[in-house]
């Protein structure tokens, strides 16, 4: 059975490469193929924790990319399956570092999903637990770049939810916690694009909180810092996450010259992140209707949801 596991890993690797290149349709297809294999293998022996963990990760990868494509219902199905699976593993060993890290990551992803769907109560529950779990890891090893980055991501989403609730002081506190973690992660991996991106996202958050306070000068300073962090990457990157952050900085700074083609190109890949769409609409950007790629992804998302529902 090992060869089947390796084939699943290969599909997952291809999906990650496709996502970095902005090919969201291929990413969804490859993550679906990975999940199909991992589900079959996990079904052979429900006591095999390694296979269970593999399936959990596959569900999360698939759920996350579906969320980025705007397929929130299918994303919810798979992210909840991932969370249910990792919670079950944590009942076996509540202090397993890898499982705590996954639970923290899936927690903030589900918190984000709940927030954009308007369920701030669930979002708060998810965010609080996610921050708690990753904080436990960081307290054990503050030099672990990956754990610091996870904590920054969890706190960024926590602050986004608090900002949506207009709890500005609490949002600022969470943003400060995110900044400490993001800076620590970047210090340990200065050339790492993910660490750079998290710092940029943290600066965007700082600016949004300052804007909510009515401090336009501080907001522009923070947004400009975000732009400085990713400018070099954005010039050549096809990664939707990098392009999202870069376009987001330009919109906030009202530097929209020649921005429309880049925004339209990103949307043509099937990218439909809810926060990104809301920001573009806030700044009166004309968004193209879903194209052929988005429609094909929607079909794949429907298949994914049907397949998942039939097996749970």
pLDDT of residue 59: 97
Cα–Cα distance for residue pair 239/252, rounded to 1 Å: 20
Please give the structure tokens belonging to residue 273. 């992140």
Burial class (CB in 10 A: 0-12, 13-18, 19+), 292: exposed
CA distance to 12, 34, 80, 140, 221, per residue, from 6 (Å): 10, 10, 25, 32, 47
pLDDT of residue 306: 52
CA distance to 81, 179, 289, 304, per residue, from 107 (Å): 12, 19, 31, 21
Cα–Cα distance for residue pair 63/85, rounded to 1 Å: 13
Cα–Cα distance for residue pair 269/293, rounded to 1 Å: 6
pTM for the whole thing?
0.94
Q: What is the sign, positive or negative, of the torsion defined by CA atoms of 29, 30, 36, 39?
A: negative
Cα–Cα distance for residue pair 184/138, rounded to 1 Å: 11
Q: Say how many C-beta atoms besides its own lie within 10 A of residue 26's C-beta.
A: 15
Please give the structure tokens belonging to residue 189. 């991996």
> Tens place of pLDDT for every residue, the chain, 312 residues?
688 889 999 999 999 999 999 999 999 999 999 999 999 999 999 899 999 999 999 999 999 999 999 999 999 999 999 999 999 999 999 999 999 999 999 999 999 999 999 999 999 999 999 999 999 999 999 999 999 999 999 999 999 999 999 999 999 999 999 999 999 999 999 999 999 999 999 999 999 999 999 999 999 999 999 999 999 999 899 999 999 999 999 999 999 988 989 999 999 999 999 999 999 999 999 888 889 999 999 999 988 755 554 343
Give the pLDDT confidence of 82-128 residue by residue, as tens digits. Answer: 999 999 999 999 999 999 999 999 999 999 999 999 999 999 999 99
Cα–Cα distance for residue pair 110/64, rounded to 1 Å: 9
Q: What does R_g of the chain's alpha carbons equal in angstroms? A: 19
Cα–Cα distance for residue pair 201/207, rounded to 1 Å: 10
pLDDT of residue 311: 43
Nearest residue to 241 via CA among 21, 14, 10, 63 = 21
Chain-centre distance for alpha carbon 37: 23
> Are the beta carbons of 77 and 309 closer than 8 angstroms?
yes
pLDDT of residue 1: 66
Please give the structure tokens belonging to residue 121. 């109560």
Cβ burial 130-155 (10 Å sphere, 16+ → b, else e): bbebbbbbbeeeeebbbbbbbbbbbb
Give the pLDDT confidence of 206-220 residue by residue, as tens digits. Answer: 999 999 999 999 999
């Amino acid at each position: 059975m090992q060869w089947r596991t390796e084939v699943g890993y290969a599909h997952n690797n291809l999906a990650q490469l496709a996502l970095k290149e902005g090919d969201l349709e291929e990413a969804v297809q490859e993550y679906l193929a990975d999940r199909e294999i991992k589900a079959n293998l996990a079904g052979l022996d429900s006591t095999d924790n390694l296979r269970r963990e593999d399936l959990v990760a596959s569900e999360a990868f698939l759920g996350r990319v579906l969320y980025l494509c705007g397929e929130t219902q299918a994303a919810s199905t798979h992210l909840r399956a991932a969370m249910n699976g990792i919670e079950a593993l944590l009942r076996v060993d509540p202090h397993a570092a890898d499982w705590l890290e996954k639970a923290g990551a899936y927690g903030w992803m589900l918190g984000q999903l709940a927030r954009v769907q308007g369920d701030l109560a669930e979002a708060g529950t998810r965010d609080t637990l996610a921050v708690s779990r990753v904080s436990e890891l960081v307290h054990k090893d503050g030099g672990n770049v990956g754990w610091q980055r996870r904590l920054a991501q969890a706190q960024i989403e926590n602050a986004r939810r608090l900002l949506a609730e207009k709890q500005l002081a609490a949002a600022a506190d969470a943003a400060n916690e995110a900044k400490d973690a993001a800076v620590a992660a970047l210090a340990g991996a200065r050339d790492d694009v993910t660490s750079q991106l998290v710092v940029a996202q943290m600066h965007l958050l700082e600016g949004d909180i300052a804007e909510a306070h009515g401090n336009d000068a501080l907001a522009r300073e923070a947004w400009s810092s975000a732009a400085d962090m990713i400018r070099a990457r954005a010039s050549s990157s096809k990664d939707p996450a990098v392009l999202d952050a870069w376009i987001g900085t330009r919109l906030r700074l009202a530097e929209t010259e020649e921005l429309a083609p880049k925004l339209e190109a990103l949307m043509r890949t099937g990218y439909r992140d809810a926060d990104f769409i809301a920001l573009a609409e806030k700044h009166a950007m004309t968004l193209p209707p879903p194209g052929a790629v988005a429609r094909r992804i929607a079909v794949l998302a429907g298949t994914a949801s049907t397949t998942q529902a039939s097996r749970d």
